Chain A
Amino acid sequence: MTMIFGVPLQALLGQLLIGLINGSFYALLSLGLAIIFGLLRMINFAHGAQYMLGAFTAYLLLTFAGIGYWPALILAPVIVGLLGTVVERLFLRRLYALDPLYGLLFTFGLALTLEGTFRYIYGASGQPYATPAALAGGTNLGFMFLPIYRGWVVVVSLVVCLATWFLIERTKLGAYLRAATENATLVQAFGVNVPVLLTFTYGLGVALAAFAGVLAAPVYQVSPLMGSNIIIVVFAVVVVGGMGSIMGSIITGYMLGIAEGLTKVFYPEASNIVVFVIMAIVLLIRPAGLFGREA
Chain B
Amino acid sequence: MRKMLLASAAFFVAGAAAAVAAPSDGKVKIGILNDQSGVYADFGGKSSVEAAKMAVEDFGGSVLGVPVEIVDADHQNKPDIASNIARQWFDTNQVDAIMELTTSSVALAVQAIAKEKKKIDIVTGAATTELTGKQCSPYGFHWAYDTHALAVGTGGALVKQGGDSWFFLTADYAFGYSLEQQTSDFVKSNGGKVLGSVRHPLASTDYSSFLLQAQSSGAKVVGLANAGADTQNAIKQAAEFGITQGGQRLAALLFTLAEVHGLGLQAAQGLTLTEGFYWNRDEESRKFGERFLKRTGKMPNMIHAGTYSAVLQYLKAVQKAGTDETEAVAKVMHELPVDDVFGRGGTVGKNGRMIHDMYLLEVKKPAESKEPWDYYKVLATIPGKDAYIDPAKSGCDLVK
Q: Write the residues of chain A forming the contact surface with B, with a CB cutoff of 8 angstroms.
A: 8, 10-11, 14-15, 18, 21-22, 116, 119, 123-128, 130-131, 138, 144-145, 147, 149-150, 218-221, 223, 225-226, 229-230, 261, 264-265, 268-269, 271-273
Q: Is the CB of A125 within 8 A of B242?
A: no
B262 close to A (CB within 8 Å): yes
Shortest C-beta distance, A209 to chain B (Å), equals 15
Say how far B231's CB is from chain A's closest CB, in angstroms.
10
Chain A contacts for B213, CB-based, 8 A: 11, 265
For A144, the closest partner residue in chain B by CB is B212
> Is B240 a contact partner of A150 (Cβ separation < 8 A)?
yes
Question: B residues 37-66 with Cβ under 8 Å of A?
Answer: 37-43, 45
Is A126's CB under 8 angstroms from B229's CB?
yes
**Chain B contacts of A11 at CB under 8 A?**
212-213, 216
Binds A, one of B126-134, B136-144, B156-164, B203-211: B203-211
Decide: B240 and A221 in contact? CB cutoff 8 A: no
Q: Are B229 and A22 in contact (CB under 8 A)?
A: no
The 8 A CB mask of B246-276 against A (1 = contact, 0 = none) is 1000000000001101111011000000000
Nearest chain A CB to B33 CB, angstrom units: 17
Contacts of A10 in B (CB 8 A): 216
The digit string for B22-47, where 1 denotes a CB below 8 A from any CB of A, is: 00000000000000011111110100
Q: Could you write out 19 A-B pairs with CB less than 8 Å apart?
A: A10-B216, A22-B206, A124-B42, A125-B41, A125-B232, A126-B229, A126-B262, A128-B266, A128-B267, A131-B240, A145-B241, A149-B240, A219-B236, A225-B39, A226-B205, A229-B205, A265-B213, A268-B210, A271-B204
Contact at B215–A145, with CB atoms within 8 Å? Answer: yes
Give complex CA distance A116, B74 in Å: 14
A221 near B172: Cβ-Cβ < 8 Å: no
Q: Which residues of A contact B38 (CB under 8 A)?
A: 124
New A-B contacts (17) at CB < 8 Å, excluding given A124-B37, A125-B228, A265-B213 = A15-B212, A123-B42, A124-B41, A125-B41, A125-B232, A125-B259, A126-B229, A138-B242, A145-B215, A147-B242, A219-B237, A221-B229, A221-B233, A221-B262, A230-B205, A268-B199, A271-B200
Using A125-B258, A128-B263 as known contacts, say yes or no to A220 and B233 having CB atoms under 8 A apart.
yes
A230 to B205, CA, bound (A): 7
* Chain A minimum-CB-distance residue to B201: A272
The 5 closest A-B pairs by CB, nearest first: A128-B264, A125-B262, A272-B201, A264-B209, A125-B42
Contacts of A149 in B (CB 8 A): 240
Give the residues in chain A near B399, CB-CB below 8 Å. none
Whether the Cβ atoms of B232 and A126 lie closer than 8 Å is yes
Interface status of B198 (Cβ within 8 A of chain A)? yes
Q: A128 and B262: CB pair below 8 A?
A: yes
Please, which residue of chain A has its CB at the minimum distance from the CB of B216? A11
Q: Does B259 lie within 8 Å of A21, measured CB to CB?
A: no
Minimum CB–CB distance from B75 to chain A (whole Å) comes to 14
Q: Which residues from A are CB-within-8-Å of B259?
A: 125
> A147 and B241 in contact (CB under 8 A), knowing A22-B206, A220-B233, A261-B209?
yes
Q: Given the interface contacts A21-B208, A144-B212, A271-B204, does A138 sit within 8 Å of B241 by beta carbon?
A: yes
A249 CB to closest chain B CB (Å) equals 19
Contact: B209 with A221, CB < 8 Å? Answer: no
From residue B190, how far is it (CB to closest CB) to chain A in Å? 28
Distance in angstroms between the alpha carbons of A21 and B43 in the assembled complex: 31
Q: Please, how many angstroms separate the alpha-carbon atoms of A58 and B55 in the complex?
A: 39
Chain A nearest Cβ from B196, distance in angstroms: 12
Q: How far is the CA of A207 from the CA of B205 in the complex (A)?
A: 22
Contact present for B240 and A147 (CB under 8 Å): yes
Complexed CA–CA distance, A261 and B259 (Å): 27
Chain A residues whose C-beta falls within 8 Å of the C-beta of B43 in the assembled complex: 125
Contact residues in B for A268 (Cβ distance below 8 Å): 198-201, 209-210
A15: chain B residues within 8 A (beta carbon): 209, 212
- State how many angstroms separate the Cβ of A116 from the closest Cβ of chain B: 8
**Interfacial chain B residues near A144, Cβ < 8 Å:** 212
Please state if B229 and A225 are interface contacts (CB–CB under 8 Å): yes
Give bound CA distance, A265 to B241, whole Å: 17
Q: How far is the CA of A226 from the CA of B262 in the complex (A)?
A: 14
CB neighbours of B264 from chain A (8 A): 128, 130
Bound Cα distance A150, B236 (Å):
13
Closest residue to B235 on the A side, CB-wise? A221
A212 to B38, CA, bound (A): 24
Closest chain-A Cβ to B400's Cβ sits at a distance in Å of 41
Q: Which of A18, A22, A218 contacts B212 (CB 8 A)?
A: A18
Report the nearest A residue to B212, measured CB to CB: A14
* From A119, A221, A264, contact of B232 by CB (8 A): A221
A265 surroundings in chain B (CB, below 8 A):
209, 213
Pick from B40, B199, B237, B242: contact of A269, CB below 8 A: B199
CB of A24, distance to nearest CB on chain B (Å): 11
In the bound complex, residues from chain B placing their C-beta under 8 Å from that of A218 are: 240
**Contact (Cβ within 8 A) B212 A124:** no
The verdict on A124 contacting B229 (CB below 8 Å), with A15-B209, A149-B240, A221-B263 known, is yes
| Complex Cα gap A219–B236 (Å) | 7
* Complex interface: chain A residues within 8 A of B198 (CB): 268
How many whole Å from A93's CB to the nearest CB in chain B? 32
CA A15 to CA B206, docked complex, whole Å: 12
Question: Which of B201, B208, B215, B262 sits near A123, CB closer than 8 Å?
Answer: B262
Residues in B neighbouring A271, C-beta threshold 8 A? 200-201, 204, 209
When C-beta atoms are compared, the residue in chain B nearest to A127 turns out to be B262
A119 lies within 8 A of B37 (CB): yes
Q: What is the 8 Å Cβ interface bit string for chain B, positions 287-300, against chain A (1 contact, 0 not)?
A: 00000000000000
Q: Is the CB of A219 within 8 A of B240?
A: yes
> Which residues of B (2-39) have their CB < 8 Å from a CB of A?
37-39
Interface hits, B167-220 → A, CB 8 Å: 172, 198-201, 203-206, 208-210, 212-213, 215-216
Complex CA gap A75/B99 in Å reads: 46
